[in-house]
Amino acid sequence: MKNKVALVTGGALGFKDGGPSIGGASAIRLAKDGFKVVIIDFCPTGSKTVETIKKNGGEAIFVVGDVGKTEDVKKAIRAAETKLGGLNCLVNCAARYTSGMAKNVVEISEDEWTKTLDINLGGYFRTAKYAIPLILRSGGGTIINISSIDGFVALPNFSVYCVSKAAINGLTRSLAVDFAPKIRTNTICPGFVRIANSQNNRTPQQLEEWYESIARQYPLKRACEVEEIATVVSFLAGDESSYINGASIVVDGGKLIADDHKF
C-alpha cells in the first residue's frame, strides 16, 4: 500500500486520555500497511493518533473537523489531495453516541433523532459524496464503513442508533453498485468493542466486572479489541479482498448467531 492515501473519519484515539478507539486503531493499522493517513475528528486526541503513527515510521496529518459540516469534510479531502497526493481509501468511523439517544421512538426527542442521523448516516454520506471524485481521479480504491450488528437486530430502547446502522448497510450497497469496478465498498459490523469512549466514569474494578458480564453473552467469552476490527479494515483496504464488494462483514465473536435461551 506504499504511496497510497487513506482518510479515516473519527480517527482520534479515546476521548478522555487517548485510549483505544476503532477509528484510531484503523488509522494506525493502515499506516503500518504503508498508507499515508489523513484523520478527521473534532476531538483533539486525533493528534495522539498522528504521534503514534509517526513514532512507528508512518506518515499522517490531523484535520480538526466535524463530519456534520460539509466544509470540514471538504477541508480533510483537500488535505489528502494537496498534502499527500490523492486518496485511495476512505474509512467512515465517526459516530454520535449520547445518553439522549438511548430511547425508543416515543421517548426520543426530534432534535436528538435528527442530530444522530446527521452524523451517523449524514457524515458517511458527506464524506463519500466529496471523497469519491478524488478516489476516482487517484485511480480507484476502497470505501469501508463501520456499522454495527445493531443494523441487523434491535437493541432495546436504542431506536435511532439501530436505524442509523441499518441505513449505513444500505448506503454501502448503493455505493458498491454505483461506483464499481473502480471503487469497492464494504461494511464492517462489530458487536461490543472495548473502546475508551464507553468507559464513562467506571472504576477499574467496575470496568472489569462490566466487561466480564458482556463477555458472558458472546460465544468467544471475551470482548472484542479495537485492533481486531482494524485487522478487518486492513484486509478490506488491500488487494487480498479484491472480489469483496457490497458485503456487510460481521465481527462479533458469534454473538449474532447465538441463541442464549436457558432451558
**Poorest-confidence range of 55-64, 151-160, 183-192, 252-261?**
252-261
pLDDT reading at 213 higher than 70? yes
The residue annotated as part of the active site, out of 97, 124, 130, 161, is: 161
Cα 158-163-166 angle, rounded to 5 deg: 125
Q: Are 41 and 23 in contact (CB under 8 A)?
A: yes
Cell of 94: 465517526
- Dihedral angle at the C-alpha atoms of 248, 249, 255, 256, nearest 10 degrees? 30
Q: In this predicted structure, what is the pLDDT of residue 124? A: 98
What tens digit of pLDDT does each residue of 53-96 get?
999 999 999 999 999 999 999 999 999 999 999 999 999 999 98
12 SS3 class: coil
Q: In this predicted structure, what is the pLDDT of residue 14? A: 79
| Domain assignment present for 262 | no
Cell of 219: 460465544
| Domain assignment present for 217 | no
| Domain assignment present for 50 | yes
Residue 29: closest CA among 21, 17, 19: 21
| Domain assignment present for 215 | no
Strand partners, 61: 38
| Domain assignment present for 211 | no
| Domain assignment present for 228 | yes
Assign residue 118 the CATH number of its domain.
Answer: 3.40.50.720
Q: Can you give the residue range of the structural domain that contains 233?
A: 5-197+224-254
- Sign of the dihedral through C-alpha 125, 244, 81, 136: negative
| Domain assignment present for 111 | yes
124 included as an active-site residue: no
Specify the number of domains making up the chain: 1
Q: How far apart are CA 216 and CA 185, in angstroms?
A: 33
Confidence band for 1, pLDDT divided at 50, 70 and 90: low
Average pLDDT over residues 113-126: 97
User: Peptide bond before 181: cis, by omega within 30 degrees of 0?
Assistant: yes
Q: In this predicted structure, what is the pLDDT of residue 210? A: 86
**Poorest-confidence range of 1-5, 184-188, 225-229?**
1-5
| Domain assignment present for 187 | yes
What tens digit of pLDDT does each residue of 126-156 get?
999 999 999 999 999 999 999 999 999 999 9
- CA 209 centroid distance within chain: 26
Q: In this predicted structure, what is the pLDDT of residue 181? A: 98
